[in-house]
């Protein structure tokens, strides 16, 4: 059975991006013309994950609203003849079936995934972190779904990061059994660089089966005293099997300012109408002319 549902946890505080995220969810920070989370949903849709389950909280209603109709705005755009903008805003509202689940307390990523248990029931499902953007020829989540389908096992996506950044991510210890494919032995949440077994960092892309819920239910508080998805994956890897796939593509962590700003420039440079002017301005900044 193939996954059709994707859980996108969006209930985190986004403290790394304060003060920008004091009242705006980090997933709604714009990356060029779209909020960050829209890129994540578009990646899911490209992989035929049409049921999008947001794990949300009271402050995040604006995310669900972004994927809904805004009838007064649409009426205005129609009245003023702005058909292309009307098409864009309609298309966002119609791209996915949105299902929302509340995470009533922010107890960690593992707890957030557990909150969606009643929605995914007995089916395999994907998890995509709402502030991790991945761009590749084949959508990152699809790369994982293909492996999950042929190997019949849960799969996490990894990318290689510089050693000084391993303490920001879940890091795997694993054996490569085919190019870019790993059998995971251990997973460590945000290890000290000197203790990290590799530089293979988990990105916010996972394809899981309902057996993970058993491990999530039995979690003890872990790193930062939160219920960590990483700890449930560790238990799963020890008891059963867990694979990792080295993802092809470019990754931007929206909670990291250098990544966030690079993502904006990356997309803006793809816009032919803006490109030349932007390159000129960037050149001015770099040569300190102004």
Residues near ligand G1P, by CB under 6 A: 109, 129, 132, 169-170, 189, 201-204, 228-230
Q: Is 45 helix (H, G, I), strand (E, B) or coil?
A: helix
In this complex, which beta carbon is closest to ligand G1P, that of residue 92 or of residue 253?
253
- Closest approach of ligand G1P to the CB of residue 179, in Å: 22
- Spatial distance between the Cα atoms of 180 and 51, rounded to a whole number of angstroms: 29
- Are 228 and 215 a contacting pair, CB within 8 Å? no
- Closest approach of ligand G1P to the CB of residue 224, in Å: 8
- Closest approach of ligand G1P to the CB of residue 100, in Å: 19
- Closest approach of ligand G1P to the CB of residue 132, in Å: 5
- Spatial distance between the Cα atoms of 93 and 77, rounded to a whole number of angstroms: 15
In this complex, which beta carbon is closest to ligand G1P, that of residue 44 or of residue 92?
44
For 9-36, letters b (16+ CB in 10 Å) and e give: bbbbebebbeeebeebbbbbbebeebbb
Return the residue matching tokens 């779904």. 145
In this complex, which beta carbon is closest to ligand G1P, that of residue 65 or of residue 160?
160
- Closest approach of ligand G1P to the CB of residue 248, in Å: 17
In this complex, which beta carbon is closest to ligand G1P, that of residue 92 or of residue 182?
182
Q: Tokens representing 81?
A: 């003849």
In this complex, which beta carbon is closest to ligand G1P, that of residue 109 or of residue 120?
109
């Amino acid at each position: 059975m193939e996954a059709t549902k994707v859980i996108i946890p969006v209930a985190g505080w986004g403290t790394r991006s304060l003060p920008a995220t004091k009242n705006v969810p980090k997933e709604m920070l714009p990356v060029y013309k779209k909020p960050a989370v829209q890129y994540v949903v578009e990646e899911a849709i490209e992989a035929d994950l049409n049921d999008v389950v947001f794990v949300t909280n009271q402050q995040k209603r604006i995310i669900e609203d972004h994927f809904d109709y805004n009838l007064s705005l649409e009426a205005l755009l129609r009245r003023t003849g702005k058909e292309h903008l009307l098409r864009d805003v309609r298309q966002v509202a119609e791209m996915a079936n949105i299902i929302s689940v509340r995470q009533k307390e922010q107890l960690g990523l593992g707890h957030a995934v557990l909150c969606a248990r009643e929605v995914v029931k007995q089916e395999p499902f994907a998890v995509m972190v709402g502030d991790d953007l991945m761009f590749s020829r084949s959508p990152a989540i699809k790369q994982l779904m293909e492996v999950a389908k042929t190997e019949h096992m849960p799969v996490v996506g990894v990318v290689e990061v510089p050693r000084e950044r391993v303490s920001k991510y879940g890091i795997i210890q694993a054996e490569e059994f085919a190019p870019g494919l790993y059998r995971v032995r251990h997973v460590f949440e945000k290890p000290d660089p000197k203790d990290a077994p590799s530089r293979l960092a988990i990105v916010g892309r996972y394809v899981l089966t309902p057996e993970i819920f058993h491990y999530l239910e039995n979690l003890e508080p872990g790193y930062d005293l939160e219920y960590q998805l990483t700890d449930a994956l560790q238990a799963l890897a020890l008891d059963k099997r867990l694979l990792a796939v080295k993802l092809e593509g470019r990754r931007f962590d929206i909670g990291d300012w250098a990544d966030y700003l690079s993502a904006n420039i990356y997309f803006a440079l793809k816009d032919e109408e803006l490109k030349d002017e932007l390159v000129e301005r960037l050149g001015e900044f770099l040569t300190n002319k102004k």
